[in-house]
Amino acid sequence: MSKRRLCILGGCGGIGRSLVAGALDAGYDVAVMDLKATLARHPPPAATFAIDVDGADEASVGRAFTAVASRWGALDGFVNAAGFLIEKHALAETSAQEFDITIEGNLRTTFLACRAALALLEKGDEPSLVNIASGLGAFVRPGYGPYAAAKAAMIALTKTLALEHAPRVRVNALGPGAVDTAFLRGGTGRSDENGAPSLDIAAYSAMIPLKRIAVPDDIVGPVLFLLGPDSRYMTGQTLWVNGGAYMP
């Protein structure tokens, strides 16, 4: 039996690297998409197919998925793990430029990548798409306005795609709480991964019922679940993974 073909956008980020490792262990063929500089800083495993892409640039996304189509012809799975967060501000203190960059880097990237991926998923075997959104998309907190808005829209976009591509392709979202990665420091490729996080991790952990912040490996199992046959009757859903911090 041939391996399932999986593409991970943002596969060199903190969560992305764990997802790539988990998918390889699970027997997937994996294509890793990320910014050229990030691919150079965190080269993916030799067993993967690496493609540089600027997720907010339509032409770049088109070239990246053309490369996947040329190699595989179709996709069985796609994970959108791309995204970033600019320094926290109240909305009244947020510039229009910061707002636009945040929306573009999170929501526009999701739209462009999903549109391109779905054309290949439609040709795949029991295909599944997973957008990694955020708990902030529903459980909003002060200081995260543009990011929360982008992630809420990303969940709405996921639901729309689920309806438009059913029954052929399943489309779901994952809504994690904070995960201790470079994301909390500005994002992989955008910041010092060893710098101080924007979040007080000790205080955050104390408020979580499971009493700790998530690490990337906590996200891998839920994503593989949404990609695989055990979630075959799920589409248009958001799976919340947050240690009990948010219970809708």
Whether the Cβ atoms of residue 94 and residue 200 lie closer than 8 Å to each other: no
Whether the Cβ atoms of residue 204 and residue 178 lie closer than 8 Å to each other: yes
- Angle formed by the axes of helices 145-165 and 109-121, to 10°? 20
Residues 6+ apart with CB under 8 A from 64: 33, 51, 52, 53, 116
Residue length of the chain: 248
Active-site choice (3, 28, 144, 151): 151
**Within 13 A of 60's CA, how many CA atoms are on the CB side?**
14
Residue labelled with tokens 């994503």: 223
For residue 199, the 8-state DSSP code is: S
Whether the Cβ atoms of residue 4 and residue 24 lie closer than 8 Å to each other: no
Residue 147 among the catalytic residues: yes
Which DSSP string do the residues of 82-101 spell out, in sequence order? ----PPPB-GGG--HHHHHH
CA dihedral 113, 239, 209, 204 (to 10 degrees): 10
For residue 11, the 8-state DSSP code is: T
Active-site choice (147, 159, 233, 246): 147
Q: Which residues are catalytic?
A: 147, 151
